[in-house]
Amino acid sequence: MDKQKRKEIRKQLAEKELAEFRKGLPFDENIFPKLFDFLDIELNKNGCNHTTILTKTFLDKNKVSNTTDAIEWLADNGGYCDCEVLANIEDLFDYLNPPLLKPFQSNQIKKQKLNSLKTDFGFSIEKIPLPWTLTETISGNDKSYNFQFGKSNNCIINLASDFPITQLDNDKFWTDLGLKKLN
């Protein structure tokens, strides 16, 4: 089995595990973060008296109907008292706050030389004529094309990709555009 396949299986297992975890929760998962915030504040004030009195108070206040089941579930997951609920259960809900996507990195920009060009916006060249060279730059979902004339030359032309190709048969569009340029 190759690495990619093993990775895929691991991912599927983790997803299945998470789905089961969510299904087994004693109350709405979105109430949990509020419980942790509440415990954080209350425990800071008075400390833990080794019961789940604060948790129970919170659940009653938030109209969780099956508090007995909820307290039992918390104990099963290592939260036998209020401070343990905070210490041991909070991490189980990390999935509610997935880490922010990494900012765009420069190594995601790919450059390559092309001998021919076929764009997805309908422009194509079968063979790039010398002394032109064509470089394709891919960054994320954006592709851009630069034609360079000669090697050490600074003459670089960027291929326009926003060309209004759907308007090719629309004479009025081009007349208006021409008039706009003149004015």
Query: What residue ranges bind Zn ion (CB under 5 A)?
Result: 48, 50, 81, 83
DSSP 36: H
* Residue at 29: amino acid letter: E
Smallest distance from Zn ion to CB 95, Å = 25
Smallest distance from Zn ion to CB 43, Å = 8
Alpha carbon distance 134, 153 (integer Å): 13
Nearer to Zn ion, 40 or 176 (CB): 40
Nearer to Zn ion, 87 or 125 (CB): 87
Smallest distance from Zn ion to CB 73, Å = 17
* Tokens standing for residue 5: 């396949």
Alpha carbon distance 183, 178 (integer Å): 9
Nearer to Zn ion, 67 or 88 (CB): 88
Smallest distance from Zn ion to CB 47, Å = 8
Distance of CA 181 to the CA centre of its chain: 42
Q: DSSP string spanning 55-69?
A: HHHHHHHTT-S-HHH
Nearer to Zn ion, 35 or 134 (CB): 35
Please provide residue 74's backbone torsions phi and psi, each rounded to the nearest 5 degrees: -60, -45
